[in-house]
Amino acid sequence: MTQAFGIAVAAAASVLLVAAAGPAAAQDATDVRCFVAANIFTKAGDDKSKAAAQNAGFFYLGRLRGTPAQIETAIAAQARTLNPQNAGTVMQACAQAVEVKAQELQTIGQRLGQAQAARKAPSKK
Domains held by the chain: number: 1
Which residue range(s) make up the domain with 106? 3-120
pLDDT, mean of each 10-residue run, the chain (125 residues):
50 46 60 96 88 95 94 95 94 95 96 91 70
Rounded Cα–Cα distance for residues 7 and 51 (Å): 19
- Whether 125 is covered by a domain: the verdict is no
What is the model's pTM?
0.71
Which pLDDT score, from 0 to 100, does residue 86 have?
A: 95
Which pLDDT score, from 0 to 100, does residue 44 have?
A: 81
DSSP 8-state symbol, 43:
T
Which pLDDT score, from 0 to 100, does residue 20 have?
A: 43
Q: Which of 27, 86, 30 is nearest to 56 (CA)?
A: 30
Rounded Cα–Cα distance for residues 64 and 89 (Å): 21
Which pLDDT score, from 0 to 100, does residue 15 have?
A: 47
Which pLDDT score, from 0 to 100, does residue 121 have?
A: 75
Which pLDDT score, from 0 to 100, does residue 45 have?
A: 81
- Whether 116 is covered by a domain: the verdict is yes
- Whether 20 is covered by a domain: the verdict is yes
- Whether 61 is covered by a domain: the verdict is yes
Q: Under a CB-based contact definition with an 8 Å cutoff, are residues 35 and 57 in contact?
A: yes
Rounded Cα–Cα distance for residues 101 and 112 (Å): 16
Coil/strand/helix, residue 52: helix
